[in-house]
Structure 1
């Protein structure tokens, strides 16, 4: 064989397998994982998005074709000491060098052996280590209330595993059957809805471990979601809203102010307790709000300005004070002194929201004998339902084409539902969407 043919033979041997008349590359080109974001668009990301990306492990990854199975298998992620750096530039500098050197080595025919471990160093995480690892990541990526709910559910699952003898075992020892048994216990004690909520958080827990190459698959993803009937916050009628507000103005003015933000401003309870003085831009009629769908400015309608902001001089208070507190005025809202640290801390937003919900139940629900389906959040449903009916009648009276779709469009800009069909279903659930009366067809 001449030198040219010998050279080509070695090239093909190092890069391709000849199988069934097809060439199959022995490896995938190394790539850099950058925390789930496109670093080319780094400058366009928000500070929160950057923080979330940098809270994750960055690494170089590639796959190698197993000569026994013929399948590409993900190899051990290569991190170097990149994650000890806290900037995008620093991590990329190291990982780019690693990626280029790895690519060169693969082209030279330096492949991993079949006995190499295909998992990262984190594979050896114990149950305790795995839970701490995920909670640390989630704390940097979830809002306070969401993290508290997630943490509580995950900690209960960890307690279950320890009781079942998983104390010193590897997290990869947990099986789908173990999770199913736990979810069945929750179902027996509570409800399908609560069981599904726990399933969602457990799936998120194992998903983090998969993304971080601690385990190879999410064992929860194949556990089905059960059908359930979620509890709805029943909307109040217009007369009921009027009676509630008249009573509160006389008996609990600050609870009325809180309710006014939900009804007139269309805030959610949790969004109201998050408002600090510095968030309010009264001249622009805006409030910097942390909402369910993101962080942005929410408009303050004139009716809310007249009912609250024109009556309270916010300039008298510290800008870091919360707008609504148990003191019936803006303040810090601190917890009692901690017996261990001897310090006071800010009351969690979950407890602040719970406080106002209980206050509403005590003052309003007890007075008017409302059912458990009526909550302080029901006021938001009532406002959205009334707005729909007003817009629907206005568009219809003005003979505007497709007046119903126009009304649904208007509501969708407020609720952020994905389409008008979803808005219609929502309005039907709260009792504010009705078809034309069919009495004439039965005469």
Structure 2
């Protein structure tokens, strides 16, 4: 039985009253009712005509606080002609019903009896409601996003606990509680290093909460996602600046001397225009060296394909992929294809990023540069070269879209503006000023 604690304040001169509210289960065990008949003096299950089987359980009546609302349904069990088939179907329905109930399903028979589905949602504490939302959201997002939500949600739970709010009913949570939490993140919380959170990090905490509150709104547990109404914290995030061609040449020279395996990583970022996360997902079986096609799970596509261009082929051939099973990861910490399992995909990206960062630090680069700089450099190089060939902006956008994997012209235009690809031509001829 889950427990929720509600502490009510009182004047200092009066005794302090502490009410402990126990959150009780709303439904009983789900069971299969098997009709029986008398056979040789014993009652045995029967599938004869008129023998009705059904799945049932009891729901707690909010008016009486007892399990006196009986819920039953057959789901076609009685169309089956044998006891064996009815048992198999009935047990499957029992399991499906238990799963649905654990995820917050409220049967129509219950709604009709109590007249309002809010009775169940109001029994949820903020922690229970957000855990329920997290379970649903986890089935919709990628592993990395799920892990991110989990970390940020547990951090929020810790704050609720420290502020005696962990047992607060979900319908009593207001926008003021969220503002208090965000104020804590911005003004009070310190990381182990002693530094506070950046505004971008604070917005990421809010974004995760908002996604879960949206689930609660869609499930009609709350009427409106007020977290989404809170404006973003103004921030100037550090961007990964693109390298110039000459800078990239110097970096390659240092990589060849210090960490040659990184050439594979950079080649996969630059030629197929992949992101670090997309690279570490790749497996040997994703590389088709007969048709020279690369299968990749992109950011905005469950599965996509890229051409392995001539510039990338020597790198792929040098990997000697024919020596490895198809389920091996292509890029690994072992500097060759292998099984590389981690709890979080992001830890793989972090490891490769640190190796590349050592090269950059040795060459004197600041924190404004990283692995992502390689992807920006590649797209900027393509843009500039297409411009030199005389293509106008619209023609360049259309040409780049299938290469970069952007789904819309607006998306790739915004991306190009972020990396400052749109540099105007020399406009000296329209000045009348001489200094």
Q: Please, what TM-score do these two structures have when normalized by structure 2?
A: 0.68
Shift of 1:143: 0.8
Shift of 1:117: 2.6
Aligned to 2:365: 370
Cα deviation for residue 418 of structure 1 reads: 6.2
- How far apart are residue 373 of structure 1 and its match? 0.6
Q: Distance in 2 between matches of 1:81 and 1:414?
A: 54
Matched ranges for 1:353-368 at <5 A: 353-362=349-358, 364-368=359-363
Residues 1:318 and 2:325 are matched in the alignment: yes
Superposed CA deviations along residues 43-96 of structure 1, whole A, max 9, x for unmatched, are: xxxxxxxxxxxxxxxxxxxxxxxxxxxxxxxxxxx9979996899xxx9xxxxx
Match of 2:374 among 366, 372, 379: 379
2:218 match = 211
Contact 1:245 1:256 in 2 (8 A): yes
Equivalence for 1:436 = 425
Paired residue for 2:185? 186
What whole-Å deviation, never above 9, does each CA across 1:347-405 have from its counterpart, x for those lacking one?
A: 4211111100111111x112211110100110000000010111111135xxxxxx232
Which residue of the partner structure matches residue 275 of structure 2?
Answer: 268
Alignment of 1:289-300 (within 5 A): 289-300=296-307
Alignment match, 1:162: 161
Q: CA deviation at 1:219?
A: 2.4
Question: Are the equivalent residues in 2 in contact too, given 1:261–1:304 (CA < 8 A)?
Answer: no
1:153 aligns with 2:152: yes
Offset at 1:163? 1.2
SS in 2 for 1:298: strand
Structure with the largest fraction of helix: 1
- Alignment of 1:174 with 2:169, yes or no, is no
Cα distance in 2 between the residues matched to 1:84 and 1:271: 40
Cα distance in 2 for partners of 1:260, 1:219 equals 45
Structure 1 CA distance for aligned equivalents of residues 383 and 404 of structure 2 = 12
Once residues 249 and 74 of structure 2 are traced to their aligned partners in structure 1, the CA distance between those partners, rounded to angstroms, is 63
Distance (whole Å) between structure 2 residues aligned to residue 81 and residue 405 of structure 1: 61
> Which stretches in structure 1 are left out of the alignment for 5+ residues?
1-77, 92-97, 103-110, 335-345, 397-402
Match of residue 348, structure 1, among 322, 344, 359: 344
Mapped to 2, the partners of 1:244 and 1:375 lie a distance apart of: 12
Is this contact kept in 2: 1:131–1:158, CA < 8 A? no
Q: CA deviation at 1:426?
A: 3.1
CA contact (8 A) 2:296 2:306 kept: no
Q: 1:420 to 1:289 in 2, by over 3 A?
A: closer
Query: Could you tell me which residue of structure 2 aligns to residue 195 of structure 1?
Result: 202
RMSD: 3.0
CA apart distance, 1:169:
2.9
User: Contact between 1:187 and 1:194, CA under 8 Å: does it hold in 2?
Assistant: no
- Where structure 2 has 5 or more consecutive residues not aligned to the other structure, the ranges are 1-70, 76-91, 101-106, 188-195
Helix, strand or coil: the match of 2:389?
Answer: helix
Residues 145 and 422 (structure 1), Cα distance of their counterparts in 2 relative to 1, 3 Å cut: closer
Q: Which residue of 2 aligns with 1:412?
A: 401
Q: Distance in 1 between matches of 2:95 and 2:287?
A: 32
Query: Secondary structure of the residue that 1:324 maps to in structure 2?
Result: coil
1:221 alignment counterpart: 228
Q: In the TM superposition, what is the alpha-carbon distance from 1:131 to its structure 2 partner? A: 3.2
CA distance in 1 between partners of 2:72 and 2:218 (Å): 14
After alignment, is 241-250 or 199-208 more displaced? Answer: 241-250
CA contact (8 A) 1:235 1:381 kept: yes
Aligned residue among 251, 259, 262 for 1:244: 251
- d(CA) in 1 for partners of 2:295, 2:179: 42
**Taking structure 1 as reference, are residues 440 and 170 closer, same or farther at Cα in structure 2, changes over 3 Å only?**
same
How many Å separate the matches in 1 of 2:350 and 2:277?
A: 9
Change (3 A) 1:85 1:285: farther
**1:134, CA displacement in angstroms?**
2.2
